[in-house]
């Protein structure tokens, strides 16, 4: 493998200095002259007709500068697909969940805005509501949207091979139903928006995971030309999939700014962030697995119900993602998948970094039970079924690079699997979870990214890319790639990013694309600039361009290092010649765009795939049912890691957010009321709850990835729950079918086992 100067090194991130000094500005920190403060009036009903909204009294309150409702909008609805455009942001017909945005006020200060909310009169006619997805699907349930019969938002049906035949011929068939409560994203930064409408332009700041798609949505909703909606770069306090889409808060704040002709800032409370941005799907997964005598999976049949909440959101995608990441892990010759996303009168559910724990932890536990029945070790059954390079997934995605087997072996070895699995004392267990994740995701023409680079007259570099950083280190990664190609230190590189006025389309940071897609675009742009530099330097030095390279701010001959010239001299020469050094580069992942999420779910899903394996150890208190996780190993194949330290950070965070979450995190409900919209009763694991962690980066090389890199953000986030559930299953001898594994649920299982 090639040696790199910068790639593959654990380097400090470019954004870290601003963050440790408190200088990094997040949306709530921003202030503009004459800025107003916004507050939102929310629905106290889970389901009710809006009969009338009277804002006149609020408008008369001194200090109130604007009040808006859905009636001030253009009546446009948003949805990620044409067929799912059902969200008008501020409703005019009826409210569909408690906390739904109904009206918004902009006033000179927060107190006045709050007082004004009290003066808005909304007449509602309460309607019967439904909170359980199975109930919502049944005949006679209250209909939440007229255009979706039986409240079925999306039904994804996938059929591969001959399932019935395979079931008949199988040696062993097992069927179980697993349930999991939805989680809260609980990103540390509560949602906030600053909107500034001036001279016909709308400038917007908000934590977002894709500025370009956000600007497009706002342009549609507000009927403002796209070039006049400018989503600006700002520091972002976490996303995890929950900041992918346009929010009612964006729309309301923009409308207020347009009306008041002043900048308006809206900062949500923690509770509002929990009930009125995005939540995670609750899920019921019925899984049937058929295996042959050797433990090879011969068929899979799935019925999965996703509680979607009140609107479509990213539903069309969320309804099958857990399945796809699983078929990208193991060979399924015959499959039937039926995924239903169902509307209920609860908050809107979106994609999540750890999406699908009922499905994934369920499948992996079932695999262990099958292995047990056949006398095969869980590691062995995973190796036997694990997909490999050159193979195709059930729905025909080709795997161009694959380190799955290595992650399994590495995780097993580091966790001392083979000695531990056999001799575990009572109440202890060890479990493994595997998963793959797509890199470069189908989003139509938005799947690709592009980058511009210019070399400035002092030899310093400016790169311009749409890539956004939610905290994972995407910005730094782009700078590191540019540094590698252009042979200048990272501090010589300025990054302009995530600002729709100057940057070009990028798939965003919610679709596993930053390293693989955006990174490739940055690399290509810098390579174009490099070739221009080398060609010019070749004339100057009298050395063939192929013999030249960029290193330490110099152009240097590879064969005769004495022959060199400072980069900035070459750049100045280029200015003289009237052709400054600039480069552009773009990358579009090789995806089958005939493929479609619902109508045609077959064909190449992504450019390539990352793989990962988690191993968790658990200790269960037999009297209290409390599960402790003393040790956790995560092994990840992300190709050639660009910044190993950043990748490790992703793995460690995943162990917290998916692994430890498995024993404590859930949104709890009282009908349509979220019982824990705070950070006290919603249990984000603390430092003292964390296991000892070992992370392993299994280095491989992806032929398409920039410097062989693939995505480093997920996998462990989507299999750490499996490892914990499998470990508990190992300790108790039976699968645990209801997540999270809170002590009351675990004790119930312990008692059931005892009772048998």
Partner 1 sequence: MKVNFKVNGEEVSVEVKEYETLLETLRERLELTGAKEGCGLGACGACTVLLDGRPARSCLVLTPEVEGREVETIEGLKEGEELHPLQEAFIERGAVQCGFCTSGMLLTAKALLDSNPNPSREKIKEVISSNLCRCTGYDKIVEAIAEAARRLRKGQDVGMEKESH
Partner 2 sequence: MILPPLQYRRARDLKEVWELYELYDGEVSFLAGGTDLLPRLKLRLERPKAVIDLKEIGELQEVSEDEKFLRIGSLINLFDLRGDERVRSLFPALLQSLEATSCETLQMRGTIGGNLLQDTRCLFYNQSEFWRRAKGFCLKMGGQICNATGGKECFSNYCSDNAPALVSLSAEVRLLSPQGERQIPLEKLYTGEGERPFALLPGEVLAEVLIPKGESKGGYEKLRMRGAIDYPLVGVAFSLRDGRGKLSVAGVGPKPLLYEVDELTEGGIEEAAERASHDARPVGNASLAPSYRRRMVKILAKRLMGGILKEAER
Give me the residues that bind partner 1 (CB under 8 A), please. 10, 12-13, 15-26, 28-29, 31, 186-190, 235-238, 240, 267, 269-270, 470-473, 645-646, 648-649, 651-657, 678-680, 684, 686-690, 693
When asked if residue 636 is in the footprint of partner 2 (CB under 8 A), the reply is no
Query: Which residues on neighbouring strands pair with residue 464, listed in sequence order?
Result: 452, 496
Q: What is the 3-state secondary structure (H, E, C) of 731-756?
A: HHCCCCCEECCCHHHHHHHHHHHHHC
When asked if residue 670 is in the footprint of partner 2 (CB under 8 A), the reply is yes
When asked if residue 641 is in the footprint of partner 2 (CB under 8 A), the reply is no
Total Cβ atoms within 10 A of residue 19: 13
Tell me the C-alpha distance between 582 and 682, whole Å: 50
In the complex, least distance from residue 276 CB atom to partner 2, rounded to whole angstroms: 10
Distance of CA 607 to the CA centre of its chain: 17
Find the part of the chain contacting partner 2 (CB under 8 A) among 264-272, 292-300, 591-599, 699-707: 264-272
Q: Residue 153 in contact with residue 87, Cβ under 8 Å? A: no
Cα-atom radius of gyration of the chain, to the nearest Å?
Answer: 27
When binding is defined by CB under 8 A, the residue of 30, 673, 693, 734 that contacts partner 2 is 673
In the complex, least distance from residue 40 CB atom to partner 2, rounded to whole angstroms: 10
Tell me the C-alpha distance between 614 and 607, whole Å: 24
Q: Which entry of partner 2, partner 1, none binds 677, CB below 5 to 8 A by partner kind? A: partner 2
In the complex, least distance from residue 15 CB atom to partner 1, rounded to whole angstroms: 7
Residues present in the chain in total: 756
Q: Which entry of partner 2, partner 1, none binds 624, CB below 5 to 8 A by partner kind? A: partner 2
In the complex, least distance from residue 97 CB atom to partner 2, rounded to whole angstroms: 11
Between residue 648 and residue 667, which ones bind partner 2 under the rule CB under 8 A?
Answer: 664
In the complex, least distance from residue 42 CB atom to partner 2, rounded to whole angstroms: 6
Is the CB of 424 or the CB of 673 nearer to partner 2? 673
Total Cβ atoms within 10 A of residue 188: 11
When asked if residue 744 is in the footprint of partner 2 (CB under 8 A), the reply is yes
Tell me the C-alpha distance between 510 and 654, whole Å: 15
Nearest partner of 369 among 2, 741, 732, 729, judged by Cα:
729
Between residue 59 and residue 118, which ones bind partner 2 under the rule CB under 8 A?
Answer: 98-99, 110-111, 114
Structure letter (DSSP) for residue 491: G
When asked if residue 26 is in the footprint of partner 2 (CB under 8 A), the reply is no
SS3 at position 359: helix
SS3 at position 130: coil
Is the CB of 236 or the CB of 606 nearer to partner 1? 236
Tell me the C-alpha distance between 392 and 395, whole Å: 8
Q: Residue 358 in contact with residue 178, Cβ under 8 Å? A: yes
Is the CB of 432 or the CB of 736 nearer to partner 2? 736
| Number of residues counted as binding partner 2 (CB under 8 A) | 32
Phi, psi of 185 (to 5 degrees): -65, -40
Q: Which entry of partner 1, partner 2, none binds 98, CB below 5 to 8 A by partner kind? A: partner 2
- Which residues have a Cβ under 8 Å from the Cβ of 337 and sit 6 or more positions away? 156, 157, 158, 159, 300, 302, 304, 320, 323
Is the CB of 102 or the CB of 217 nearer to partner 2? 102
Binding mask 681-710 for partner 2 (x = CB under 8 A): x-x-xx-xx---------------------
Q: Which residues bind partner 2 (CB under 8 A)?
A: 42, 44-45, 98-99, 110-111, 114, 269-271, 623-625, 664, 668, 670, 673, 675-677, 680-681, 683, 685-686, 688-689, 742-744, 747
């Amino acid at each position: 493998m090639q040696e790199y100067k910068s790639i593959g090194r654990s380097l400090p991130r470019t954004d870290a200095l601003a963050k440790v000094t408190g200088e990094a500005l997040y949306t709530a920190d921003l202030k503009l002259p004459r800025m107003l403060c916004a507050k939102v009036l929310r629905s106290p009903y889970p389901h009710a007709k809006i009969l009338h909204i009277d804002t006149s009294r609020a408008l008369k309150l001194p200090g109130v500068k604007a009040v808006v409702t859905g009636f001030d909008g253009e009546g446009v609805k948003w949805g990620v697909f044409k067929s799912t455009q059902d969200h008008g942001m501020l409703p005019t017909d009826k409210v569909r969940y408690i906390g739904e945005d109904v009206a918004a006020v902009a006033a000179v200060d927060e107190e006045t805005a709050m007082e004004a909310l009290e003066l808005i009169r909304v007449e509602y006619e309460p309607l019967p509501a439904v909170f359980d997805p199975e109930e919502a699907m049944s005949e006679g349930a209250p209909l939440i949207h007229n255009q979706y019969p039986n409240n079925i938002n999306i039904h994804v049906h996938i059929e591969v091979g001959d399932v019935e035949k395979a079931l008949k011929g199988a040696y062993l068939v097992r069927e179980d139903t697993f349930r999991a409560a939805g989680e809260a994203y609980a990103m540390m930064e509560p949602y906030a928006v600053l909107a500034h409408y001036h001279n016909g332009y709308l400038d917007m700041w908000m934590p977002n995971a894709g500025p370009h798609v956000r600007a497009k949505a706002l342009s549609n909703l507000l009927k403002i030309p796209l070039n006049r909606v400018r989503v600006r770069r700002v520091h972002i306090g976490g996303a995890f999939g929950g900041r992918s889409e346009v929010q009612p808060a964006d729309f309301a704040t923009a409308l207020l700014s347009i009306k008041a002709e002043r900048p308006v800032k809206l900062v949500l409370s923690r509770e509002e962030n929990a009930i009125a941005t995005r939540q995670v799907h609750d899920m019921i997964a019925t899984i049937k697995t058929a295996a042959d005598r050797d433990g090879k999976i011969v068929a899979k049949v799935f019925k999965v119900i996703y509680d979607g909440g009140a609107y479509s959101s990213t539903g069309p995608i969320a309804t099958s993602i857990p399945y796809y990441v699983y078929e990208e892990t193991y060979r399924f010759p015959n499959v039937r998948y039926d995924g239903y996303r169902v509307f209920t009168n609860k908050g809107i559910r979106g994609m999540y970094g750890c999406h699908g724990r009922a499905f994934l932890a369920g499948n992996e536990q079932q695999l262990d039970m099958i292995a047990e029945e056949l006398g095969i070790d869980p590691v062995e059954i995973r190796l036997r079924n694990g997909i490999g390079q050159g193979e195709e997934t059930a729905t025909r995605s080709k795997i161009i690079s694959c380190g799955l087997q290595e992650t399994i072996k590495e995780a097993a070895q580091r966790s001392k699997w083979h000695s531990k699995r056999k001799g575990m004392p009572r109440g202890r267990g060890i479990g493994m979870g595997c998963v793959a994740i797509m890199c470069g995701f189908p989003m139509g023409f938005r799947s690709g990214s592009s980058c511009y680079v210019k070399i400035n007259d002092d030899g310093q570099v400016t790169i311009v890319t749409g890539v956004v950083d939610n905290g994972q280190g995407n910005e730094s990664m782009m700078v590191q790639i540019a540094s590698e190609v252009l042979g200048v230190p990272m501090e010589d590189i300025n990054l302009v990013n995530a600002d729709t006025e100057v940057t070009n389309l990028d798939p965003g940071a919610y679709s596993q694309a930053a390293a693989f897609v955006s990174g490739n675009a940055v690399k290509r742009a810098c390579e174009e600039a490099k070739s221009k530099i080398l060609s010019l330097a070749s004339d100057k030095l009298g050395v063939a361009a192929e013999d030249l390279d960029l290193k330490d701010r110099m152009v240097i001959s590879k064969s005769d290092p004495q022959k060199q010239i400072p980069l900035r001299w070459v750049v100045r020469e280029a200015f003289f010649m009237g052709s400054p050094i600039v480069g552009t580069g773009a990358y579009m992942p090789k995806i089958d765009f005939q493929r479609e999420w619902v109508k045609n779910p077959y064909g190449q899903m992504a450019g390539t795939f990352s793989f990962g394996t988690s191993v968790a150890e658990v200790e269960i208190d037999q009297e209290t049912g409390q599960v402790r996780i003393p040790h956790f190993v995560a092994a990840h194949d992300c190709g050639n890691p660009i910044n190993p330290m950043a990748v490790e950070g992703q793995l460690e965070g995943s162990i917290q957010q998916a692994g430890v979450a498995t024993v404590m995190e859930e949104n709890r409900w009282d009908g349509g009321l979220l019982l824990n919209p705070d950070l006290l009763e919603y249990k984000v694991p603390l430092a003292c709850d964390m296991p000892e962690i070992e992370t392993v980066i299994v280095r491989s090389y992806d032929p398409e990835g920039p410097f062989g890199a693939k995505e480093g953000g997920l996998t462990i986030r989507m299999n750490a729950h499996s490892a914990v559930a499998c470990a508990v299953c190992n300790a108790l001898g039976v699968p645990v079918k209801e997540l999270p594994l809170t002590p009351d649920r675990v004790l119930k299982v312990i008692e059931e086992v005892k009772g048998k």
